[in-house]
Structure 1
Amino acid sequence: MSLNSDLRQLMKPYYWINILLSISYVTSKRTSIICNFLFPDVDCELDSRETEILFFLIIVVMLRTRKAGSVTMVNYLSSSFVYTKIANLILWLYADIRYGLPYGALIILCALLLPEPTYSGPEHIIYFRGPQSLDEELKRHKTTWLVCLYAAWHPACVNFAPVFAELSASYSLENLKFGKLDVGRYPEAAAKYRVQDGPTSRQLPTVLLFSEGQEKLRKPHADHTGKLQKFLFSKDNMKAAFDIDDLYQECKEKLSAAKNNKKTE
């Protein structure tokens, strides 16, 4: 099911155009017809400098996608596009500045005309405008909240958005609600909930479970030594870490009992 969803996602112009841009140099250099046309006086082989750039690219992509918490094929591609395009720009400029400059212009043009597709499926999420609005909701002790602290510009938060939205659509109840708070826009929320909101932060996203107005659990969390424990924000990991299935049943039973009490009164 996940593979079919990824394949449908890859059919969107943003992905296949960026894939073509990401493999443009190697494909051109290794395809004899294209290579002989673009580089008539050069062997159609990658030299040592080009090979070094490509190996460095592979290492960077592996490290950055792992740090971003990418868990699907689409996530890996989305996280790697910026690095692969920069590497290709360097390779085109290294080969011939007359090819590098148009390639750079093409990258900018595609970024302007083809932004990355955002999740457009069903969701039941309340977006809080600052920590005060969240505090007001938490005062309603009968409601259990799963709240995602995120930054709109952070790759891991972008990757997690459809997962959180899907969970909200499947598990939302009158007394089990899902919320999001943009700590990039409201840094006072980051300070209040002890979340670093910088570009190198390993705490974005952070998901908090509130019950009876109090924080019960968060991911990622720090251990007894203060070291942050890494957490991959996949759907299965979220369901297991927060015991969402049991939480849903518990809230559903409480909701049913409250409605029955009202009928008997």
Structure 2
Amino acid sequence: MGFKKDFILLTKPYYCVNILLSLSYLLAKKAPGICVYLFTPKESECELDGRETEILFFLAIVVMIRTRKTGSVTMINYLTSSFIYTKIANLILWAYADYLYGVIFGVVFIITALVIPEPTYSGPEHVTYFRTEHALDDELESDKRIVWIIAFYTVWNPACVNFAPIFSELSAEYNLKNFRFGKVDVGRFPATGKKYHVSDSSLSRQLPTIILFKNGKEFLRRPCVDVKGKLQTFFFSKDNIKAAFILNTLYKESKENGITTDEKKQK
């Protein structure tokens, strides 16, 4: 996602409101007029004290660690992943300054979350959603000439949410009759996740998991386990997916060995 697209997204109400909420306490403390009105009659005392500085420092560390773990690689991804932590930190700071301020901020926090949802991907996609326990197995067995790239995800996981538009864009770019993209919600169908060794636990580091199937069998997956049994970190950017799954080569091969409409009808 380029800078222009990022800038356009930042103008949407969801990002504007959440950035404002994330910076609300700091802005109030640093704006003399607001600080004097809310906190102290003396402008000279409108500075962060030791406890407030500690909270902000701890917040910075948490945001860096969590966004790193979710594989956030763009400005928008970093912001989206960090909003929940920055808003909770602001809730603590407002409550630390005055209990009533904390309550007011908490109410605003909840209302904005309900009224202004995060923008969803609205571009083209060619993704098959498997909505039963055995739907994926049945599809893999029905025509083994089809190469499938399947995303195992949950709706509540931040990394899965961040990856969703990337997967949709890739599906629109590479989709063929014999090279297709699909998704399975392992939170909804845990048995499918268990069969393909994808944990849906809240502590799972396997979400999302992308598996490439050729001839009806697993051929490649990310993230994968190394020889020592340790799960390797993988950042789910568009370029990383293209490189790891050699999408350009697979697309070329699939196009050369394409399935015609008549062949699909015969199946």
| Structure 1 length-normalised TM | 0.95
Deviation at 1:217, TM superposition (A): 0.2
- Report whether the alignment pairs 1:251 with 2:254: yes
Q: Deviation per CA, 1:83-114: give whole Å up to 9, x if none.
A: 00010011111111121111110001001101
Partners of 1:160 and 1:233 within 8 A in 2: yes
Equivalent residue number for residue 46 of structure 2: 44
Number of residue pairs matched by the alignment: 260
Alignment of 1:41-120 (within 5 A): 41=41, 43-120=45-122
Equivalent residue number for residue 124 of structure 1: 126
Partners of 1:130 and 1:189 within 8 A in 2: no
Equivalent residue number for residue 151 of structure 1: 154
Distance in 2, matches of 1:138 and 1:174, equals: 14
Deviation at 1:31, TM superposition (A): 1.0
- Report whether the alignment pairs 1:176 with 2:179: yes
List gaps (5 residues or longer) in structure 1. none
Distance in 1, matches of 2:170 and 2:100, equals: 49
Partners of 1:209 and 1:217 within 8 A in 2: yes
What stretches of structure 1 move > 2 A for 4+ residues in a row?
A: 258-261
- Report whether the alignment pairs 1:162 with 2:165: yes
Amino acid at match of 2:15: Y
Helix, strand or coil at the partner of 1:179: strand
Q: Deviation per CA, 1:199-255: give whole Å up to 9, x if none.
A: 111100000000110100000000111110110000000000000000000000001
Amino acid at match of 2:37: F
Equivalent residue number for residue 202 of structure 1: 205
Distance in 2, matches of 1:255 and 1:64, equals: 42
Partners of 2:153 and 2:207 within 8 A in 1: yes
Q: Deviation per CA, 1:7-56: give whole Å up to 9, x if none.
A: 11111100010000000001100111111111234610000000000000
Distance in 2, matches of 1:116 and 1:231, equals: 25
Equivalent residue number for residue 7 of structure 2: 7
Partners of 2:155 and 2:187 within 8 A in 1: yes
Deviates more, 1:129-138 or 1:237-246: 129-138
Partners of 1:147 and 1:209 within 8 A in 2: yes
Deviates more, 1:123-132 or 1:239-248: 123-132
Helix, strand or coil at the partner of 1:102: helix
Q: 2:188 aligns with which of 182, 185, 194?
A: 185
Distance in 1, matches of 2:106 and 2:258, equals: 57
Deviation at 1:259, TM superposition (A): 8.3
